[in-house]
Amino acid sequence: MREEDLTDPERRLWQAFATGTKVDLRDRAADGADGANSADGADAEGDGSGSGWGPERTVRASVIRALLLGSVDPRAGETPVVHLVGARIAGRLDLVFCEARCVLRLEECRFEEAPQLYGAKLHVTGFARSHLPGLGANSVNVGGHLDLMHTRISGALRLTNARIDGSLLLQGAFLDHPGAVALDGSWLEIGGGIVCHSGFRTEGEMRLSAARVGQGLHSQGARLHHPGGDALYAPGIHIGSQAAFSDGFHAEGAIDLTDATIGGRVSFHTATVRGTGARGADDRGSDARGTDCRCRGVTYRHLQAAELDLSAARLHGSVDLRYAQVGVLHLPVEDFACPLHLDGLEYRSLRPQLPAGARLPLVARDPDGYRPQPYQQLAAVYQSLGHDHDARAVLLAKQRHRRSTLGPAGRAWGHLLDATVGYGYRPWLAGLWLTALTLLGTAVFSAAGPTPVKEGEGAPFQPLVYTLDLLVPIGALGQRNAWYWTTGLQQFLAYALIAVGWLLTTAVVAGVSRVLNRN
């Protein structure tokens, strides 16, 4: 490309390139207050492409490409940069499999066509506050930050298999691709972090499946909108530090963090997630995830994280924590109103620390029905804190829940164990029963005299000892076999105490055995 073939704004850019000087084509008198230089603004014709801007603000994409690929030699002692502000980019910026020789900064620009960066090797690259009809950057390699701050992309942002050595900067950006995938970062590798707070918005799915993020995912206050589907689909994502979906984060659609690995804290503090009522049609098919999407809210299945904060979160739809491993789990003080799947969840600490009665409803209302592991896990946490009373309360609740799954005979036996010894977790109940029956027997047997088995033999009749001898199955006190009743209430009570003694003893032994054998 020859310099004499360039337009005036192109020539200015060509000449400024060698020294890295910024070329600003904005007409401030014309742009004044119409919002044309805003990521959400529109040009004179309302399509965001800059088509209302004249030749004085138009630069061909081929000129930018030529500069990036070395058509102008750098000046000694200077750093060449393509730095253009307020331009309409005519044609397609095609850098497929190209290797850029300098930094690219296109700010507040309007693109007629979506740039294509597939397989390119770029330095720091920025489209801040620009308006693009899409951005194809699959398999791109950026040797620094990719700056899309306050940028509006009216189409798909494609970063599949891309590598960014710095961070992906999305503060204040608006990815507008409703009903489809707005950001596809599947298998994306980022050395820094993904920064998408300060007003970041999406219309469409944000997909980060199997992405690897060296630092954090910062989505404080972001708003994701993909009702009927996934607002964020990130199974298998690996994040080196924290993942923040807090401080007013709002998602219309499900959040999927299945098999995610987070090195630090995952926070949904004060977040709002309105899960999907039905899966939207997309390219994964209707059953690709093998789960019922009709009420999905947030999925953490097999998540590994140092900390998970769900306190003060407003979650609509099911919360799936099955087989997740979390160091510290923060749950709301008040009970969740949404279904909570807990089977296989492991955690070392539960915050805030509340009595067992405040946490048991979460476990008992698991939509999967009775599962022993959530009870065992909660009891283990209380035991680690030295709260043995709460641990026993949890294990007792587990047995009562299990009883509801048994047949009539099992339920009857369960009720007996519960009433007599609290399944072994309330052994003092047996003492109460023995005391009550002993007092009853002593009072009844004192009202009348029994008949001796052998006249003149055996120890004198003692109502208290006789009652105890009936209750103890082995009958080793010498009273049971020495006296008997011929008729009346005492005879019936004697038989009843023998039967109750056997039942009570069996229940005590079964309850104690259950405590000693946790499995």
Tell me, what's the pLDDT at 202? 98
Q: Is the pLDDT of residue 7 over 90?
A: yes
**Are 111 and 91 in contact, with CB atoms under 8 Å apart?**
no
Q: Using only C-alpha atoms, what is the Rg of the chain? A: 37
Residue for token pair 């009550």: 436
Tell me, what's the pLDDT at 486? 75
Compute, in degrees rounded to 10, the torsion defined by CA atoms 47, 49, 54, 58: 180
As a whole number of angstroms, the distance between CA 276 and CA 478 comes to: 73
Token readout for 29 is 């008198």
Q: Is the pLDDT of residue 285 over 60?
A: no
Q: Is the pLDDT of residue 51 over 50?
A: yes
Tell me, what's the pLDDT at 471? 82
Considering the chain, what is the average pLDDT of its residues? Answer: 86
Query: Which contiguous run of DSSP H or E holds residue 510?
Result: helix 488-516
User: Before 450, cis peptide (omega within 30)?
Assistant: no
As a whole number of angstroms, the distance between CA 247 and CA 251 comes to: 12
Domain segments of the chain as ranges: 428-516
Tell me, what's the pLDDT at 32? 44
Tell me, what's the pLDDT at 44? 42
**Are 359 and 333 in contact, with CB atoms under 8 Å apart?**
no
State the pairing for strand pair 201-207/223-233: parallel
Q: Which amino acid is at 16?
A: A
- Quick one: 99 exposed, middle or buried, by C-beta within 10 A (0-12, 13-18, 19+)? middle
Mean pLDDT of 202-210: 98
Q: Is the pLDDT of residue 165 over 50?
A: yes
Question: Who has greater pLDDT, 400 or 38?
Answer: 400
Tell me, what's the pLDDT at 309? 95
Mean pLDDT of 205-214: 98
Contacts 24+ apart (CB under 8 A), 141-144: 142/166, 144/103
Q: Is the pLDDT of residue 104 over 50?
A: yes
- Going by the DSSP 8-state scheme, the letter that residue 55 receives in this structure is G
Token readout for 207 is 């997909």
Question: Who has greater pLDDT, 477 or 91?
Answer: 91
Tell me, what's the pLDDT at 500? 80
- Lowest-pLDDT choice from 22-26, 41-45, 240-244, 264-268: 41-45
Tell me, what's the pLDDT at 276? 80
As a whole number of angstroms, the distance between CA 343 and CA 190 comes to: 33
As a whole number of angstroms, the distance between CA 56 and CA 314 comes to: 51
Tell me, what's the pLDDT at 420? 76
Return the sign of the alpha-carbon dihedral for residues 155, 160, 163, 164: positive
As a whole number of angstroms, the distance between CA 148 and CA 507 comes to: 69
- Lowest-pLDDT choice from 113-122, 196-205, 207-216, 274-283: 274-283
pLDDT band with cut points at 50, 70 and 90 for residue 290: very low
Tell me, what's the pLDDT at 444? 85
Mean pLDDT of 40-63: 73
- Going by the DSSP 8-state scheme, the letter that residue 280 receives in this structure is P
Q: Which amino acid is at 515?
A: V
As a whole number of angstroms, the distance between CA 3 and CA 10 comes to: 9
- Lowest-pLDDT choice from 152-166, 243-257, 330-344: 330-344
pLDDT band with cut points at 50, 70 and 90 for residue 288: very low
- Lowest-pLDDT choice from 104-113, 225-234, 429-438: 429-438
- The HSE-up count of residue 109 (CA atoms within 13 Å, CB side) is 30
**Which candidate, 122, 153, 117, places its Cα nearest to that of 136?**
117
pLDDT band with cut points at 50, 70 and 90 for residue 226: very high
- The HSE-up count of residue 383 (CA atoms within 13 Å, CB side) is 11
pLDDT band with cut points at 50, 70 and 90 for residue 235: very high
* Residue-wise pLDDT tens digits, 431-467: 788 888 889 888 888 877 787 777 767 678 888 888 8
Return the sign of the alpha-carbon dihedral for residues 368, 369, 371, 374: positive
pLDDT band with cut points at 50, 70 and 90 for residue 429: confident
Mean pLDDT of 95-120: 97
**Are 300 and 308 in contact, with CB atoms under 8 Å apart?**
yes
* Residue-wise pLDDT tens digits, 12-28: 999 999 999 999 998 74
Percentage of the chain modeled with pLDDT above 70: 88
Tell me, what's the pLDDT at 347? 97
Q: Is the pLDDT of residue 142 over 80?
A: yes
As a whole number of angstroms, the distance between CA 173 and CA 200 comes to: 5
Question: Who has greater pLDDT, 427 or 364?
Answer: 364
Mean pLDDT of 105-126: 97
Q: Is the pLDDT of residue 31 over 60?
A: no
DSSP string, 281-319: P-TT-TTTT-S-GGGEEEE-TT-EEEEEE-TT-EEESEE
Q: Is the pLDDT of residue 286 over 70?
A: no
Token readout for 112 is 């007629």
Tell me, what's the pLDDT at 513? 67
As a whole number of angstroms, the distance between CA 158 and CA 107 comes to: 20
Mean pLDDT of 106-129: 97
Three-class SS of 202-252 = EEEEEECCCCEECCCEECCCCEEEEEEEEEEECCCCEECCCEECCCCCEEE
**Which candidate, 40, 179, 81, 64, places its Cα nearest to that of 116?**
64
DSSP string, 318-363: EEE-TT-EEEEEE--SSPPSS-EE-TT-EEEEEES---HHHHHHHH
**Which candidate, 318, 222, 246, places its Cα nearest to that of 276?**
318
As a whole number of angstroms, the distance between CA 72 and CA 42 comes to: 34
Q: Is the pLDDT of residue 510 over 70?
A: no
